[in-house]
Amino acid sequence: MGHPLIDRLSDDLGWPLLGTENDVLAWINRPGTHVLFMPGDWRRNLETADVAVILPELQVAFQGRFDCAVVADSMQADVKEISGVFKTPSLIFYRDGACLGGIPKVRDWDDYLARIARFLDMPLAVA
């Protein structure tokens, strides 16, 4: 990705860097709750680095109730279309292949906690 705080997510924390459509689909369709971190252009958007620091802290605060991956530059346009979340940086929540929604831009800590709690408690629609 190029920015040290984004690279740290994969290099130090071991989060997958999803660079192909197959990577993204395999990740979101796994059982459980998953967060895609869509950084956007970190050169133009200073919020990207902030979200890269905040997301690992959120994962700890929610005691690992979700896992995380980083969307590579090459896949961001496709993920925007798939998820309907167009602003970056964004955290996009999936459970068992279903998109629960996204949290764009930097938020207050309490806002993150409330929004994520809603996503984690959200029932999936039964087909």
Question: Domain for residue 85, yes or no?
Answer: yes
Is 66 part of a structural domain of the chain? yes
**Triad 97, 98, 99: Cα angle to 5°:** 120
The count of structural domains within the chain is: 1
Q: Which structural domain, as residue segments, surrounds residue 56?
A: 4-121
In a 13 Å sphere around the CA of 63, the CA atoms on its Cβ side amount to 1
Residue 102 covered by a domain: yes
- In this structure, is residue 108 part of a structural domain? yes
Residue 32 main-chain phi, psi, to 5 deg: 110, -175
For residue 127, is it within any domain? no
Identify whether 29 is part of a domain: yes
With respect to residue 126, please indicate whether it lies within any of the assigned structural domains: no
Q: What is the dihedral of CA 50, 53, 59, 60, to 10 degrees?
A: -130
Return the CATH number at 107.
3.40.30.10
Considering all CA atoms of the chain, what is the largest pairwise distance in Å, rounded to the nearest integer?
Answer: 42
pLDDT, one tens digit for every residue, the chain (127 residues): 589 999 999 999 999 999 999 999 999 999 999 999 999 999 999 899 999 999 999 999 999 999 999 999 999 999 999 999 999 999 999 999 999 999 999 999 999 999 999 999 988 765 5
